[in-house]
Each structure stands twice: as structure tokens, then as C-alpha cells.
């Protein structure tokens, strides 16, 4: 995800510079309009505001940049800049043909880190868990709020007091309801 954030920020900067020069190559619809009708200063202002807002909203992503890099690039042979607690484990990982052979068969990094021996690479696995938990908790919160909005909007519940607590508890647990055994 961090890669996408950095790429989009770079695109915003590029678009601002190009619009400032009157270059509309990345804006084909604007290029088709009459030049007198296109207010490039307004477009530049909007892009600048978007870039600043993007920067503010993703400050947390930047603060975890080193963690993301360690987890996503464990096979790179550069470990001088890595924290001391993972340097030796990265060397072990990179030197192990058995561990390296698991990587191509995994569909994503979560599967790969799940297969690593925790006892052999405890610090690297712990860092991976922290990074994965960041995105997992975000997903859980979004899912929970989506369900609350559904209850509030579609079922017209008043979400207050005990009713809100019950809905939060039900929607945040992974338990399956067994209506047959209750009735």
C-alpha cells in the first residue's frame, strides 16, 4: 500500500508541474476543450490541495515506512540499514533454500510469513504480524461501521445505549449464530 501512496503523491506533483507549463497530456478531456475555457490555475490549486490533504492523511503510513519495507523486502540483500534485531534473521532467511522455495507458492506476504518458522525467525515474524495487524484492524473497523450503518439506515434502529453495545458486540465477533439450538 505504501508504494501506491508514494506513487500517487508523485503523480500529483507531476500533474501540477505539467499544468503549470500548460501541458495537458495526462488530461485528455481538458486538452479537447478550448484553451480559453480551461482554468489551469484552478486545476493546479485543486491538485495542490489534494496533495496536501493526501500528505496529512497518510502521515501514519510514512511513520511505519521502515516496518513496511522490512516485511515486504526481506529477500533484498541490503541489511545494513535494517534494525539490528532483524539483520541476522534476514541473512538466515536469504541463505535458506528451504524458506526461499516457499515464497513462489504463496499468494501473498501473509501466507509466506505464516509458513515461516517462528522459533527460527522470531523478530522478523513479529514485525510482519505488527504490519499485518495494522491493515487487519482497519478492515475490521470498516466492516463494523458498515454493518452499523446498515442497521441504522435500513432497519431504522436507534443506535443508543444497550442496543448499540449489543450490535457492536454481535458484529465484531466471529461467532456464528445457531438459532435452532436457541429456540
Dump pLDDT digits (tens) for 50-59.
999 888 887 8
Please give the residue range of the domain that contains residue 36: 2-63
**Looking at the predicted structure, is the pLDDT value of residue 154 above 60?**
no
Integer angstrom CA distances of residue 77 from 87, 130, 136: 10, 22, 29
Q: In sequence order, what are the residues at sequence separation of 6 or more whose Cβ sits closer than 8 angstroms to the Cβ of residue 82?
A: 70, 90
- Asked if residue 183 is part of any domain, the answer here is no
**Looking at the predicted structure, is the pLDDT value of residue 9 above 80?**
yes
- Asked if residue 68 is part of any domain, the answer here is no
The pLDDT score that the predictor gives to residue 18 is: 92
pTM greater than the 0.75 cutoff: no
Number of domains the chain is built from: 2
- Asked if residue 171 is part of any domain, the answer here is yes
- Asked if residue 85 is part of any domain, the answer here is yes
- Asked if residue 102 is part of any domain, the answer here is yes
Amino acid at each position: 500500500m505504501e508504494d501506491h501512496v508514494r506513487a500517487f503523491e508523485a503523480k500529483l506533483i507531476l500533474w501540477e508541474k505539467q499544468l503549470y507549463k500548460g501541458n495537458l497530456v495526462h488530461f485528455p478531456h481538458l486538452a479537447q476543450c478550448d484553451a480559453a475555457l480551461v482554468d489551469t490555475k484552478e486545476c493546479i490549486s485543486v491538485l495542490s490541495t489534494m496533495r496536501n490533504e493526501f500528505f496529512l492523511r497518510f502521515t501514519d503510513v510514512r511513520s511505519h515506512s521502515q516496518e513496511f519495507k522490512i516485511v515486504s523486502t526481506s529477500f533484498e540483500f541490503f541489511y545494513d540499514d535494517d534494525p539490528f534485531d532483524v539483520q541476522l534473521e534476514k541473512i538466515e532467511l536469504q541463505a535458506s533454500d528451504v524458506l526461499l522455495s516457499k515464497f513462489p507458492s504463496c499468494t501473498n506476504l501473509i501466507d509466506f510469513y505464516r509458513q515461516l518458522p517462528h522459533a527460527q525467525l522470531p523478530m522478523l515474524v513479529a514485525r510482519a504480524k505488527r504490519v499485518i495487524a495494522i491493515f487487519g484492524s482497519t478492515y475490521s473497523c470498516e466492516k463494523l461501521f458498515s454493518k452499523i450503518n446498515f442497521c441504522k439506515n435500513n432497519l431504522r434502529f436507534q443506535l443508543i445505549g444497550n442496543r448499540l453495545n449489543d450490535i457492536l458486540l454481535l458484529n465484531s465477533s466471529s461467532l456464528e449464530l445457531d438459532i435452532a439450538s436457541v429456540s
